Structure 1
Amino acid sequence: MLVAAIAIGAIAGCGQSPGDSRTVTAPVTDEIPAIELVAADRHTDALQDWASKRAGKLGIPVRALQAYGYATVALAKTQPDCHLGWTTLAGIARVESDHGRHRGAKITGDGQVRPVIRGVALDGTNGNARIVDPEATSRAGKTVYAQAAGPFQFIPDTWKRWGVRADIDYKSLEKILANGKPGTSKGSLGSADNIDDAALAAGRYLCASGGDLSTGRGWRDAVFAYNHSDAYVRQIRAAASAYASK
């Protein structure tokens, strides 16, 4: 599961409770230009103009928009029935990390978020889940609680299941995405602290959780799976809709 451990810069929700899927409609989104999916070191360059034209009015870093756009295009090609919109990824990243800018963090040219962003220790206090990080616990010789990591706030176990490098060769990436199931090789896992990898992993998770995100039910189920909170679903919809309307 994903845990939104640090609802950073949370946007006040609005509208009806999404407990009944009939009260939720999927936020609209604008189209992303067709690009060649080569998944090389400069795989997001083709979206430079698209992102630059929107960054200022949306208040989103160009590099973050490129990541959301690339993930959306890659999933549209490999999972065309999902209909993930870039505005949904942007809404989640806004609430989780202010697009990788939490506490002054910045996104480097290769997509790394520095300094890294970490959520609170998930030790079961203050309403948080209690999740032990087994690998860190083994290394430390004492109990270490998991922390959500990166601009999309993945907990370690979820990253192991859905993480993926965005810059691996496209044929390999296509196989991973088209499968629609969790898991990949260790060498293709990527980093939750890289905004390209994190956006793509978040998209994988959302598509697997919601099915068709163009429907109210599918979109709500996907976002609710990301964080089991009706208030969170409202926050993300408000953020995504705001980006779509500008």
Structure 2
Amino acid sequence: MAGHLGRRLRRGATSGAVVAAAVAALAASQGPGTTQPPTDGASGDVPIGTGDTATTPDGSASGDSPYYTELPPLNTPNKPGSPAGTLPVITGPAEAGIPASVLAAYQRAEQSIRSTDPDCNLPWQLLAGIGKVESGQARGGAVDANGTTNSPILGPVLNGVGFANISDTDDGAYDGDSVHDRAVGPMQFIPSTWATWGQDANGDGKKDPNNIYDAAQAAGLYLCANGRNLAVKADLDKAILSYNRSREYLNTVLSWFEYYKRGSHQVPDGTGVLPGDRSDNPRTTPGARPTPTAPVTPKPKPTTPKPSPSKPAEPTPTKPTTPPTTDPAAKVARLNKDGATALSATAGTTFTTRPTVLAVDLAGKPVAGVQVRFRISDETDARFAVGAREVTAVTGSNGKAVAPTLKAGEQTGGFKVSATVVGRALNAVEFAATVTERSADTLTHVDAKELAATTGGTVTGPVTVKATDGGAAAAGVALTATFVTSATDPQPATDGPYFKDADGTAVRTLTGLKTRADGTYELPDIHAGDKTGTFVLRLTAPGGGSVTITITVTAPEPEPEPTPTPSPSSSTGGTPEPTPTS
């Protein structure tokens, strides 16, 4: 196959079997030692928007809009047979190059979704395959520093003429058409699909289908919908077909997916290779490569040699030029803390302040589109809202990256949250975080009745107390219950009423009693003991709450002596009746 396998696939013109052969050829060239994508997630972001709960079975993300049909070359980015893990970093062929911001968006989406939905096994190369077919990787990476396309990417009007007929669903907000819908952005979402799956992955406060970070995150969540495992071929096919219900589309995306799995490299934004033919117009020329023609050898013309000058002119020295970098991370000189530097929360609650950093360049100007990794260090059960110890956020147009909400566990004490630029060795920024124990400023005896018992018995229960803090029920507060010497002497009592531990041993102090969700706690049985008198039970809580309960123990009432029953003679004084005889 002369270098390429039918470079262009046209709907209805090229057999799916031919494309499948191309995919198989690419897959076979990887060799048996190919490393599969990892299945564990290291970090993630809080998905913003509707989750991956359902996808319309007969719907499609793009509304079955047209797509680029060009296939990848068969000369793969690395030579077949190279041992897994030893493939060198290379710069060709050109089709393997992915614009820097676009590549960062795909990899960030994979990292995020692998953290929140590891069972989906989303590979970023699948997003790259769809992005190539849908928009030529955002028109070759024509995006600004925040990842937004320099101009909107719009598909044709879906008016039923050659395409689906989809009436307007967004009043033209995304596609500028208030009559019919059009696919929008580098991942080509129709407005109705974006309304459900739209994301704000770059943290600029907008869900923009023309932003590659937002669109890649939304596409990843959409592909993972309905519990799909993309490591399973059947689920992978279903996911791609849910994007565009075309078998040719499936084969085209799969061919690029396999190609990018073999290897790829980063190129500056705006320099990506644009595909040629599209499914709606096979002869589209913008961005297409010219068809090579046979070279024409010119006939030599006789020339008269000219005398050479006595001294050849010296070439003008030129300064070597360095291609400008478009990787946002390369522009960052340092990270600065933004806002509060000390974080605190009560056990089991959410930190009110989120770690925030500002990425700036050497001139002190903010840098957008930078991936910042936030990591919880030290031994703690605190976690980010997604349940992870590490998450990645992207700086917005103001240069700020904000970590997801941080939630305290039950472990009290201090720990640190660090922030670093992904792919750079800059000094980390650290935030000090503290988790304090749950507290209550007030304890009350719920029924407030007088407690009494007799020696050897138990107090009639139940005995319930309630903890509040600032007037609100305090759940999960650790109470301590102690029988003290008196209301004025807090020393533990040595006799009188007591509790029993799990072994049945008498104890007069109980610790770690946790209040319920409504702030209440019901004390275990109180045994009166064998001594009479008035005894004091004191309960305390972190935060200053306390309550004193008095228990009166009395001796049981003596049992009355039985009264003798008199005999008939003594009671009547008469003569006993004779016994009858037979």
User: One fold, TM greater than 0.5?
Assistant: yes
After TM superposition, list the pairs within 5 Å mapping 1:1-246 onto structure 2: 14-15=19-20, 30=37, 37=44, 58-101=96-139, 106-126=142-162, 128-136=163-171, 144-168=179-203, 190-209=207-226, 211-246=228-263
CA distance in 2, matches of 1:69, 1:10: 28
User: What are the superposed Cα offsets for residues 178-230 of structure 1, whole Å, 9 maximum, x if unpaired?
Assistant: xxxxxxxxx6x611000000000000100005600001001000001111111
Report SS of the residue matched to 2:137.
coil
CA distance in 2, matches of 1:159, 1:232: 20
CA distance in 2, matches of 1:55, 1:201: 29
CA distance in 2, matches of 1:168, 1:54: 32
Report SS of the residue matched to 1:119.
coil
Work out whether residues 69 and 86 of structure 1, in 8 Å CA contact, stay in contact via their aligned partners in 2.
yes
Structure 1: state its 5+ residue gaps.
1-8, 17-26, 40-52, 170-186
What's the CA shift for 1:144? 1.0
Q: What code does the residue aligned with 1:121 have?
A: V
User: What are the superposed Cα offsets for residues 132-173 of structure 1, whole Å, 9 maximum, x if unpaired?
Assistant: 1133279xxx9611010000000000000001100349xxxx
Report SS of the residue matched to 2:216.
helix
Work out whether residues 83 and 212 of structure 1, in 8 Å CA contact, stay in contact via their aligned partners in 2.
yes
What's the CA shift for 1:55? 7.4
Q: TM-score, normalised by structure 2?
A: 0.30
User: What are the superposed Cα offsets for residues 19-52 of structure 1, whole Å, 9 maximum, x if unpaired?
Assistant: xxxxxxxx9865599876578xxxxxxxxxxxxx
Work out whether residues 43 and 115 of structure 2, in 8 Å CA contact, stay in contact via their aligned partners in 1.
no
Report SS of the residue matched to 1:203.
helix
Report SS of the residue matched to 1:136.
coil
CA distance in 1, matches of 2:112, 2:214: 12
Q: What code does the residue aligned with 1:75 have?
A: I
Report SS of the residue matched to 1:81.
helix
Question: Would the alpha carbon gap of residues 202 and 160 (structure 1) be closer, same or farther in structure 2, given more than 3 Å must change?
Answer: same
What's the CA shift for 1:108? 1.2
What's the CA shift for 1:116? 1.1
CA distance in 2, matches of 1:209, 1:235: 23
Q: TM-score, normalised by structure 1?
A: 0.68
CA distance in 2, matches of 1:35, 1:63: 21
Report SS of the residue matched to 2:249.
helix
What's the CA shift for 1:115? 1.1
What's the CA shift for 1:244? 1.1
Report SS of the residue matched to 1:15.
helix
Structure 2: state its 5+ residue gaps.
1-7, 22-33, 47-88, 264-582
Structure with the higher fraction of residues in strand conformation: 2
CA distance in 2, matches of 1:55, 1:83: 28
CA distance in 1, matches of 2:196, 2:45: 24
CA distance in 2, matches of 1:74, 1:55: 27
Work out whether residues 184 and 209 of structure 2, in 8 Å CA contact, stay in contact via their aligned partners in 1.
yes
CA distance in 1, matches of 2:242, 2:35: 20
CA distance in 2, matches of 1:136, 1:67: 28
Work out whether residues 41 and 114 of structure 2, in 8 Å CA contact, stay in contact via their aligned partners in 1.
no
Work out whether residues 133 and 252 of structure 2, in 8 Å CA contact, stay in contact via their aligned partners in 1.
yes
Structure with the higher fraction of residues in helix conformation: 1
Q: What code does the residue aligned with 1:207 have?
A: C
Question: Would the alpha carbon gap of residues 214 and 35 (structure 1) be closer, same or farther in structure 2, given more than 3 Å must change?
Answer: closer
Work out whether residues 10 and 95 of structure 1, in 8 Å CA contact, stay in contact via their aligned partners in 2.
no
User: What are the superposed Cα offsets for residues 98-143 of structure 1, whole Å, 9 maximum, x if unpaired?
Assistant: 00017xx7111111011111000000111x11111133279xxx96
Higher relative contact order (CA 8 A, sep 6+): 1
Identity %: 35
Work out whether residues 198 and 208 of structure 2, in 8 Å CA contact, stay in contact via their aligned partners in 1.
yes
Number of equivalenced pairs: 191
